[in-house]
Chain A
Amino acid sequence: NAGVTQTPKFQVLKTGQSMTLQCAQDMNHNSMYWYRQDPGMGLRLIYYSASEGTTDKGEVPNGYNVSRLNKREFSLRLESAAPSQTSVYFCASRGGQGEAKAFFGQGTRLTVV
């Protein structure tokens, strides 16, 4: 049982390049989330999807787009990367109403130069 799988684990981009971070979960969870973690800032929510077919902005959505491709997969796209997007990105999933537990992937460490 893999849980939440993120790819890639590491990435270096040049300013202005685009890329998509992939996330897949095998727990049949309804809700999925993208967070970024920066030193001293904790985890901040970028976007989330409460259920298949819906997405909503979080605290820091600027510069990002998301796609809930199906129930398993939730991708995060950077259209034109900026150095301020250098961060560690975490995907998480959760069962939905009545389900307390939220599980995280291992993270994608992104550096924009």
Chain B
Amino acid sequence: GEDVEQSLFLSVREGDSSVINCTYTDSSSTYLYWYKQEPGAGLQLLTYIFSNMDMKQDQRLTVLLNKKDKHLSLRIADTQTGDSAIYFCAESLTGNTPLVFGKGTRLSVIA
């Protein structure tokens, strides 16, 4: 079955870059996502990438996909205290199948 793994914690200094990593097991996954969850809130879609892409950049966010190794990363440039949150990696086989989530990486930004 599908499985998504993430490290649980990451701590960075304000102004540095953050890199959150994720691995997934199903090579048929078509869509790969990054969601952000702030305390007491729902999940906010940050970005997503199709499996036929290697990289996607959106302002401070850069997503890298290594399909051969089934590895996805999210880089946040110039990390701010407002970026402190839990970041979830997710994958989906098709546009109809449910998203499968990792357990989330808690990012702490130290001022």
A→B interface (CB under 8 Å): 30-31, 33, 35, 40-45, 48, 50-51, 58, 90, 92, 94-107
Contact B103 A41 (CB under 8 A): yes
Q: How far is the CA of A107 from the CA of B39 in the complex (A)?
A: 12
Given known A-B contacts A41-B103, A43-B101, A100-B50, A95 and B95 have beta carbons under 8 A apart: yes
Residues of A within 8 A of B104 (CB): 42
Contact check: which of B31, B41, B45, B94 meets A103 at CB < 8 Å? B45
B→A interface (CB under 8 Å): 8, 31, 33, 35, 41-45, 48, 50, 88, 92, 94-104
Contact A42 B96 (CB under 8 A): no
Residue among A92, A102, A104, A105 with most chain B CB within 10 A: A102
Query: Nearest chain-A residue to B97 (Cβ)?
Result: A50
Residues of B within 8 A of A30 (CB): 96
